[in-house]
């Protein structure tokens, strides 16, 4: 009995400290489903080890080491990337940096999750998001 | 052992409850502390929001968004001013406005890190924020889903009835986490103490269990799994045996079983018989293997005096009906049992067990397969079907009013009508059965109990005379008349109820050696003076002293039963009775023939001139006088 209570406390502690991460994982899962509804496996790439680790936990993804080969690129740094895949960023600052190519971004601001898509870039790539995502589409960053 | 278990359980429960109580008290304290601090922060945040509102209203003219869009410098100045308010407790302070599509965007941000740009959209729970804007009342928003935020105070800035902006003050989770981490060791401490105590108690319980097991083994018979003599010793030490009846049980011809089928089968029999007994007794009863094939059963009993006998008969019948099968062998058994129904009447418990053993011996002697709880004497012992009681039982009977009188009619030989009755004493035992005087009178003869009993009998007889108005004879010894208490009682009754005298007959037992005693003669004459009839009982046996006719004013002679019993066949008896009748006729004294048990005896007594007849042939003693 006491053992169970103890384990429950540990589990609660883990949950408490992992809220943001699990929330983020859920968001990426939904974004990938929205962007690639018919793709069984989405090839993903990121310039961050942490993000790669997180993306690897998603069911329908496969990590790739070659950005050119990736369907979805999660970018955390401002670099010059010459890629074909869908560019997604992790801060407002990067969204402005990649405003010509990134289709959107997910980032934390003031402790709150922010999801944003750029209409023009979505249109350029011929991507259509489901209705539930419409409220996140902006004309400019 | 049971008490020890209860103490352990109670101890464990108290500690567990105390620790759980402390744990939850701490939890409650933590919540109360958090709530109080929340209130404190809230009041501070409200004060900050008011200051910001006043400051912004002073600096900004017209629509906030339009003004700040046009005046980036003011925007920067205000942001810097706001940044002075940020502390560790206030994680973020910023000002948002609601755009035309209902989204919230930055107007000003006091934070240096993660700074929001003017017009940048912020992901907030729009419905709650819109509610603040539209209702124009501050609101506290709790965050449960995010790591960094605890609560946000949202304050609307209203100018001319329009919500121009909302001030947001975020409290960080730092404080609640600090509080949690500060109290956590304490809570964990309680938890560990609880676990340690729990383990210690488990060990104690295990130790107790081992002790209990060892103890149980030492008091249990390994073969039959019932208690052994070790237990019996302890049981007798701590138990008031008065609350129990004792059965001693023995398996009949068990030696033959052992000799015929071997000890292995004998052991099976013992085991199975013990199991049957155990099934037939109640959990409150105690079964002990007393010796080889002997069992002692203590039947807990406060109410039903026949309970032990009922249970014993049940066991006897069950074993009689059972077929004991082992391998290919079928064995039928019987058991004999002796019972001590009232152990409290014995000097000690050993005597009570010894009595049960004696009863068992009688049961075996009388043919086995039976239950004996009373001693039954044969004719040679002159007590037929009567039970010998112990002095305590007689004492209890007197104290509890269980002394009664039965009345046997005495008939007039000529008219064949009842002319009077003889009162005969009986004792009702604890089981409600009648006990005859042969079982108790002799043992109390020279004790105070005898006087007490005589007085009781006289009281009963006086009352019956007063009620029924019939002549009743009551047996007294010569010594009873000499006893001042009894004599005084008789005289008082005669003085009080003068009519009683003419209905009363004192039957003095002749067997007591009569010595010339002035006191006795004076007393008997005094009684006689009230009109009481004086009779001499059992005349012709013992010391038939003719001097008695000179000493006392005798009205009736009751001829001894031993003469009457053989009256139809014994010439000697006839001659003696004839001479007694001649004598009494001369003296004008009535005669009563006792023990008339047949028609022939009755006819002979009549023929010899006996005036009154008494005996089973004519009428048996009865509790009631019709």
Domain ranges in chain A? Answer: 19-138
Identify the CA nearest to B427 among candidates B403, B443, B450, B451: B403
Taken as a whole, chain B contains a residue count of: 626
Residues facing B155 on adjacent strands: B167
First-to-last alpha carbon distance for chain B, in angstroms, is 63
The answer to whether the Cβ–Cβ distance between A110 and B94 falls below 8 Å is yes
Question: For residue B106, what are the CA distances in angstroms to A66, A136, B109?
Answer: 38, 16, 7
Q: CA triplet B376, B379, B382: central angle to 5 degrees? A: 90
Residue B509 has what pLDDT?
77
Instruction: Return the ∠ at Cα B603 (arms to B597 and B608), rounded to 5°.
Output: 115
> Residue B105: is its pLDDT beyond 70?
yes
**CA-based nearest residue in chain A for residue B188:** A6
pLDDT of residue B321: 94
Dihedral sign for Cα B174, B180, B182, B188, please. Answer: negative
Q: What residues of chain B lie within 8 A of the CB of A109, using their CB?
A: 114, 116, 120, 122-123
Residues B468 and B576 in one domain: yes
Contact A111 B122 (CB under 8 A): no
> Is B170–A110 a contact, with Cβ atoms under 8 angstroms apart?
yes
The set of residues, in sequence order, having a beta carbon less than 8 Å from that of B446 and lying 6+ positions away, is none
Last residue of a domain, one of B373, B399, B415: B373
Q: Scanning every residue of chain A, which has its alpha carbon at the shortest distance from the alpha carbon of B20?
A: A2
Whether residue A103 is predicted with pLDDT greater than 90 in this model: the reply is yes
Q: Assign residue B364 the CATH number of its domain.
A: 3.30.70.270
B365 and B480 housed in the same domain: no
Largest CA distance in chain A: 59
**Tens digit of each residue's pLDDT (9 = 90 or more) over B582-614:** 999 999 999 999 999 999 999 999 999 999 999
Asked if B198 and A23 come within 8 Å (Cβ–Cβ), the reply is: no
A111/B123 touch (CB, cutoff 8 Å), yes or no: no
Average pLDDT, chain A: 85
Same domain for B326 and B364, yes or no, is yes
Predicted local distance difference test score (pLDDT) of residue B39: 83
Residue B543: its pLDDT value, please? 57
CA nearest A51: which of A40, A36, A41, A61? A61
Size of interface A-B (CB pairs under 8 A): 52
Q: Which of B177, B212, B237 is the last residue of a domain?
A: B177
Residue B96 lies in a domain: yes
Q: Is the pLDDT of residue A79 over 80?
A: yes
Tens-place pLDDT, residues B508-550:
875 554 555 778 888 888 999 999 999 988 887 665 567 778 7
Whether A129 contacts A122, CB under 8 Å: yes
Same domain, B405 and B516: yes
- Taking the CA atoms of chain B, what radius of gyration do you get in angstroms? 53
Chain A: residue nearest B117 by CA? A92
**Coil, helix or strand for B433?**
coil
B399 and B294 assigned to the same domain = no
What is the 3-state secondary structure of B556-616?
A: EEEECHHHHHCCCCCHHHHHHHHHHHHHHHHHCCEEEECCCCCHHHHHHHHHCCCCEECCC
Percent of chain A with pLDDT over 70: 87
Instruction: Specify whether B403 is located in the same domain as B364.
Output: no
Smallest Cα–Cα separation from B421: which of B477, B475, B470?
B470
Asked if B146's CB is within 8 angstroms of A112's CB, the reply is yes
- Determine, yes or no, domain membership for B623: no
**Token output for B125:** 């729970």
Residues B272 and B399 in one domain: no
Rounded to whole angstroms, the Cα distance separating A97 from A93 reads 6
Torsion angles phi and psi, residue B597, rounded to 5: -110, 0
Judged against a pLDDT cut of 80, whether residue B149 lies above it is answered with: no
Q: Are residues B594 and B513 in the same domain?
A: yes
pLDDT tens digit sequence for B283-295: 999 999 998 899 9
Residues of B144-166 as b/e, b for ≥16 C-beta within 10 angstroms?
eebbbbbbbbbbbbbbeeebbbb
Whether residues A20 and B146 touch (CB distance < 8 A) is answered with yes
**Which pair of tokens denotes residue B169?**
């003050």
Cβ pair B259, B274 in contact under 8 A: no
- Residue B354, domain member (yes or no): yes
- Token pair listed for B118: 């003017």
Residue B176's pLDDT band (cuts 50, 70, 90) = low
Same domain, B360 and B418: no
Give which of B438, B451, B339 is closest to B381, Cα–Cα. B438
Q: CB within 8 A of B279, min separation 6: which ones?
A: none
> B469-516: per-residue pLDDT in tens?
999 999 998 888 888 889 999 999 999 988 889 999 999 875 554 555
Give how far Cα B593 sits from Cα of B349, B412, B538, Å: 48, 11, 10
Q: Where are the beta strands (DSSP E) in B387-523?
A: 403-412, 418-428, 434-435, 472-476, 504-509
The verdict on residue B220 lying in a domain is no
pLDDT for B84 equals 83
- Which residue's entry shows tokens 């993804």? A61
Q: What is the pLDDT averaged over residues B350-362?
A: 88
- Rounded to a whole number of angstroms, the CA Rg of chain A reads 17
Residues B369 and B422 in one domain: no
Final residue of a structural domain among B177, B209, B237: B177
B104, pLDDT greater than 70: yes
CATH of the domain at B82: 3.30.450.20
| pLDDT band at residue B260 under the 50/70/90 scheme | confident
CA B372, B374, B380, B383 dihedral sign is negative
**In this complex, do A111 and B145 lie within 8 Å of one another by their Cβ atoms?**
no
B307 within some domain? yes
The side-by-side arrangement of strands in the sheet containing B104-109 is: B104-109, B90-98, B162-172, B149-159, B139-142
pLDDT of residue B514: 55
Other C-beta atoms lying within 10 Å of the C-beta of residue A66? 9
The answer, yes or no, to whether residue B551 has pLDDT greater than 70, is yes
Distance from CA of B123 to the nearest CA of A (A): 5
Mutate to test the interface with B, among A23, A92, A110 (most CBs of B within 10 A): A110
Q: Average pLDDT in the B544-566 region?
A: 83
Lowest model confidence (mean pLDDT) among B48-62, B78-92, B159-173, B213-227: B78-92
**pLDDT in the model for residue B384:** 36
**For B183-188, which contacts have Cβ atoms below 8 Å and span 24 or more sequence positions?**
B183/B26, B183/B30, B186/B26, B187/B23, B187/B26, B187/B27
Which residue bears the tokens 């409650």?
B28
Do the domain assignments include residue B286? yes
Clarify whether residues B340 and B403 are in a common domain. Answer: no
Q: Are B173 and B233 in a shared domain?
A: no
**Residue B44, SS3?**
helix
- Which among A19, A114, A138 is the nearest to B122, CB-wise? A114
What is the model's pLDDT at position B21? 86
Identify the domain containing residue B506 by its residue range: 391-613
Q: Which of B19, B147, B174 to mutate to test the interface with A (most CBs of A within 10 A)?
A: B147
Within a domain: residue B153?
A: yes
Mean pLDDT (chain B, rounded): 86
User: Given a cut of 70, is residue A9 above it in pLDDT?
Assistant: no
Q: How many domains does chain B have?
A: 3
Cβ–Cβ gap B120/A92 under 8 Å? yes
Give domain status of residue B604, yes or no.
yes
B383 pLDDT above the threshold of 70: no
Q: What residues of chain A lie within 8 A of the CB of B94, using their CB?
A: 110
Q: Residue A12 pLDDT > 50, yes or no?
A: no
- In CATH terms, the fold of domain A19-138 is Rossmann fold (3.40.50)
What count of Cα atoms within 13 Å lies in the side-chain half-sphere of residue B338? 22
């Amino acid at each position: 009995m006491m053992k169970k209570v103890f384990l429950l406390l540990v589990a609660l502690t883990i949950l408490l400290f992992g809220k943001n991460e699990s929330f983020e994982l859920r968001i990426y899962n939904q974004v990938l489903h929205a962007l690639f509804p018919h793709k069984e496996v989405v090839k993903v790439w990121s310039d961050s080890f942490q993000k790669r680790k997180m993306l690897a936990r998603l069911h329908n993804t496969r990590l790739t080491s070659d950005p050119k080969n990736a369907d979805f690129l999660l970018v955390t740094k401002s670099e010059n990337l010459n890629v074909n895949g869908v560019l997604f960023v992790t801060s407002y600052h990067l969204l402005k940096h990649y405003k010509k190519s990134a289709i959107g971004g997910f980032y934390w601001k003031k402790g709150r999750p922010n999801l944003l898509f750029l209409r023009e870039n979505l249109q350029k790539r011929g991507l259509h998001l489901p209705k539930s995502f419409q409220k996140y589409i902006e004309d400019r960053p | 052992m049971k008490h020890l278990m209860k103490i352990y359980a109670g101890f464990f429960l108290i500690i567990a409850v105390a620790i759980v109580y402390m744990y939850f008290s701490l939890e409650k304290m933590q919540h109360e502390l958090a709530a109080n601090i929340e209130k404190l922060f809230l009041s501070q945040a409200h004060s900050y929001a008011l200051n910001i509102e006043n400051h912004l209203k002073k600096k900004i003219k017209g629509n906030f968004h339009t003004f700040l869009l046009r005046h980036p410098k003011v925007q920067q100045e205000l942001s810097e001013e706001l940044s002075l308010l940020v502390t560790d407790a206030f994680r973020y302070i910023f000002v948002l406005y609601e755009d035309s599509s209902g989204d919230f965007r930055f107007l000003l941000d006091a934070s240096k890190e993660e700074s929001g740009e003017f017009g940048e959209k912020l992901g907030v729970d729009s419905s709650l924020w819109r509610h603040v804007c539209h209702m124009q009342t501050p609101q506290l928003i709790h965050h449960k889903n995010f790591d960094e935020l605890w609560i946000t105070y949202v304050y609307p800035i209203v100018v001319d009835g329009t919500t121009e902006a909302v001030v947001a003050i975020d409290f960080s989770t730092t404080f609640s986490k600090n509080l949690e981490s500060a109290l956590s060791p304490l809570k964990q401490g309680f938890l560990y103490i609880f676990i340690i105590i729990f383990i210690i108690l488990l060990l104690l319980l295990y130790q107790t269990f081992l002790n209990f097991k060892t103890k149980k083994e030492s008091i249990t018979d390994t073969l039959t799994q019932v208690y052994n003599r070790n237990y019996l010793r302890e049981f007798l030490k701590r138990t008031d045996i008065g609350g129990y009846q004792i059965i001693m049980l023995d398996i009949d011809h068990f030696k033959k079983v052992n000799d015929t089928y071997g000890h292995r089968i004998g052991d099976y029999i013992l085991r199975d018989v013990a199991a049957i007994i155990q099934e037939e007794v109640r959990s409150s009863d105690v079964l002990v293997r007393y010796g080889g094939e002997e069992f002692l059963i203590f039947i807990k009993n406060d109410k039903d005096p026949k309970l032990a006998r009922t249970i014993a008969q049940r066991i006897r019948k069950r074993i009689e009906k059972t077929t004991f099968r082992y391998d290919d062998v079928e064995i039928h058994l019987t058991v004999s049992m002796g019972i001590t129904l009232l152990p409290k009447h014995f000097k000690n418990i050993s005597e009570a067990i010894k009595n049960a053993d004696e009863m068992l011996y009688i049961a075996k002697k009388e043919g086995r397969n039976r239950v004996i709880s009373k001693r039954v004497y044969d004719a040679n012992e002159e007590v037929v079907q009567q039970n010998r009681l112990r002095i305590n039982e007689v004492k209890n009977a007197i104290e509890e009013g269980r002394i009664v009188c039965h009345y046997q009619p005495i008939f007039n030989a000529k008219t064949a009508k009842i002319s009077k009755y003889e009162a005969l004493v009986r004792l009702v035992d604890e089981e409600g059965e009648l006990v005859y005087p042969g079982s108790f009178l002799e043992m109390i003869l020279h004790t105070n109990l005898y006087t007490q009993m005589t007085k009781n009998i006289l009281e009963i007889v006086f009352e019956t005379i007063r009620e029924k108005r019939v002549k009743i004879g009551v047996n007294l010894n010569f010594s009873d008349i000499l006893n001042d208490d009894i004599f005084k009682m008789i005289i008082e009754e005669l003085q009080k109820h003068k009519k009683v005298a003419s209905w009363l007959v004192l039957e003095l037992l002749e067997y007591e050696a009569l010595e010339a005693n002035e006191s006795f003669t004076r007393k008997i004459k005094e009684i006689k003076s009230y009109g009481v009839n004086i009779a001499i009982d059992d005349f012709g046996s013992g010391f038939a002293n003719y001097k008695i006719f000179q000493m006392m004013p005798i009205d009736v002679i009751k001829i001894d039963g031993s003469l009457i019993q053989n009256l139809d066949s014994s010439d000697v008896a006839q001659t003696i009775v004839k001479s007694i009748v001649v004598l009494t006729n001369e003296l004008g004294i009535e005669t009563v023939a006792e023990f008339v048990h047949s028609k022939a005896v009755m006819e002979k007594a009549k023929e010899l001139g006996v005036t009154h007849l008494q005996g089973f042939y004519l009428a048996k003693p009865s509790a009631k006088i019709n």
